[in-house]
């Protein structure tokens, strides 16, 4: 039996070895150490708070407790971990099914504000194939949610793709749209380097609310009017919408596995993404588990099935 076609593994994967890093929490401002460990098949992504006696928090949509500016998950005892979306996006983009993430603080380090440092860690640790089939959540019928002008939907498709648009009252951002067929190759080449962003005029209010205490030009794109304050400017002309796609990939990995379906979002963020997953799993006829091997094209079909190039539009 083939184990991999078109870059997609048919077997569950974990890290080949553990790897450690440290960094600042974007919202707490605390220095936090993080270690990524291999995990057993079928266990998914789990966070462990070493500073709370090893309390574990599974990375699942129904454990999301806060979506203000980031995604925070917690267990039934109240142990929580914030800003999980960039690391989860890296796990998703690198096709890591099972891993344990140990932290000595309440938040995943922000690093440079993108998922690239986490992709680097995963690549350094390496991947190990496990003796268990890789499964995905296949969307069977459309599911749509909305909230105060923000909308998101999932509908059936033969692969995982995202269409997302953003609209900010800022002349440097404005309206941006991005459509991608999400593959590991595309994630690493086109999405993972896009950084989170914020506005200088909002910084003081956020800090008074106990948020963005660790934010700086080292870990976020900061705008003052139409000016980018970061030395070197943007990594992409449409880095803002690319980062929103990155966030979406991370938030949707809280489904508990890869998705096979098309996501559409309009001004969507963490809160709407979680609302969408809750609506999806509340409808037993809208989804099913499926083997990834059953959904991958045969070798003769691979060239025709290769994802289309990145499509982007800005206005």
Q: What is the CATH number of the domain that holds 286?
A: 3.30.1700.10
Short-list 125, 97, 123, CA closest to 11: 97
End-to-end C-alpha distance for the chain, whole angstroms: 47
**Structure confidence at residue 310 (pLDDT):** 40
CA distance 18 to 29: 25
Residues listed for the chain: 315
Of 224, 149, 161, 233, the closest CA to residue 195 belongs to: 233
Those residues with Cβ within 8 angstroms of residue 214's Cβ, 6 or more apart along the chain or in another chain: 24, 25, 26, 27, 28, 29, 30, 110
Q: How many CA atoms lie within 13 A of 59 on its CB side?
A: 34
What CA–CA distance (Å, rounded) separates 85 from 229? 24
Domain region containing 262 = 4-314
- Tell me, rounded to whole angstroms, the distance of Cα 12 from its chain centroid: 19
pLDDT in tens, the chain (315 residues): 334 434 566 899 999 999 999 999 998 899 999 999 999 999 999 999 999 999 999 999 999 999 988 999 999 999 999 999 999 999 999 999 999 999 999 999 999 999 999 999 999 999 999 999 999 999 999 999 999 999 999 999 999 999 999 999 999 999 999 999 999 999 999 999 999 999 988 887 878 777 778 889 999 999 999 999 999 999 999 999 999 999 999 999 999 999 999 999 999 999 999 999 999 999 999 999 999 876 654 433 333 332 333 433 333
H helices present in 191-300, as ranges: 203-208, 239-252, 270-282, 292-295
The answer to whether 231 and 184 have CB atoms below 8 angstroms apart is no
What whole-number distance in Å separates Cα of residue 72 and Cα of residue 150? 20
DSSP 98: B
Q: Which of 27, 262, 270, 273 is catalytic?
A: 270
> How many domains, the chain?
1
Rounded to the nearest 10 degrees, the angle between the axes of helix 270-282 and helix 239-252 is 30
Closest Cα to residue 49, out of 113, 7, 4, 106? 106
262 is known as an active-site residue: no
pLDDT at 196: 96
Could you count the other beta carbons within 10 Å of the beta carbon of residue 51?
14
Q: Is 276 helix (H, G, I), strand (E, B) or coil?
A: helix
Read off the tokens for 58.
């599974």
Residues with Cβ within 8 Å of 139's Cβ and at least 6 positions away in sequence, in order, are 154, 155, 156, 157, 259, 260, 261, 262, 280, 286, 287
The b/e string for 280-296 (b: 16+ C-beta within 10 A; e otherwise) is bbeeeebbeeeebbeeb
């Amino acid at each position: 039996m083939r184990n991999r076609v078109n870059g997609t593994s048919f077997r569950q994967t974990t890290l080949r070895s553990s790897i450690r890093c440290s960094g600042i929490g974007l919202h707490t401002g605390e220095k936090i150490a993080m270690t990524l460990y291999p995990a057993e098949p079928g266990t998914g992504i789990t966070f462990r708070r070493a500073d709370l006696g090893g309390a574990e928090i599974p990375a699942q949509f129904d454990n999301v407790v806060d979506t203000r500016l980031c995604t925070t998950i917690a267990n039934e005892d109240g142990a929580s971990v914030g800003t999980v979306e960039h690391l989860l996006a890296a796990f998703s983009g690198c096709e890591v099914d099972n891993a344990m993430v140990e932290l000595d603080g309440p938040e995943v380090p922000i690093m440079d504000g993108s998922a690239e440092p986490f992709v680097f860690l995963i690549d350094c640790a390496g991947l190990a194939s496990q003796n268990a089939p890789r499964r995905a959540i296949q969307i069977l019928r459309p599911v749509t949610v909305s909230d105060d002008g923000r909308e998101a939907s999932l509908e059936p498709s033969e692969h995982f793709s995202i269409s997302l648009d953003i609209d900010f009252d800022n002349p440097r951002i404005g309206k941006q749209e991005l459509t991608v067929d999400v593959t590991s190759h595309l994630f690493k080449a086109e999405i993972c380097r896009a950084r989170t962003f914020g506005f200088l005029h909002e910084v003081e209010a956020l800090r008074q609310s106990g948020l963005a205490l660790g934010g700086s030009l080292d870990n976020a794109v900061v705008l003052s009017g139409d000016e980018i304050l970061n030395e070197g400017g943007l990594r992409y002309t449409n880095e803002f919408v690319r980062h929103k796609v990155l966030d979406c990939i991370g938030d949707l990995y809280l489904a508990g596995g890869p998705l096979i379906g098309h996501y559409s979002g309009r001004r969507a963020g963490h809160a709407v993404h979680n609302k969408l997953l809750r609506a999806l799993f509340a409808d037993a006829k809208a989804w099913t588990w499926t083997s990834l091997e059953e959904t991958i094209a045969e070798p003769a079909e691979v060239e025709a099935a290769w994802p289309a190039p990145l499509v982007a539009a800005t206005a």
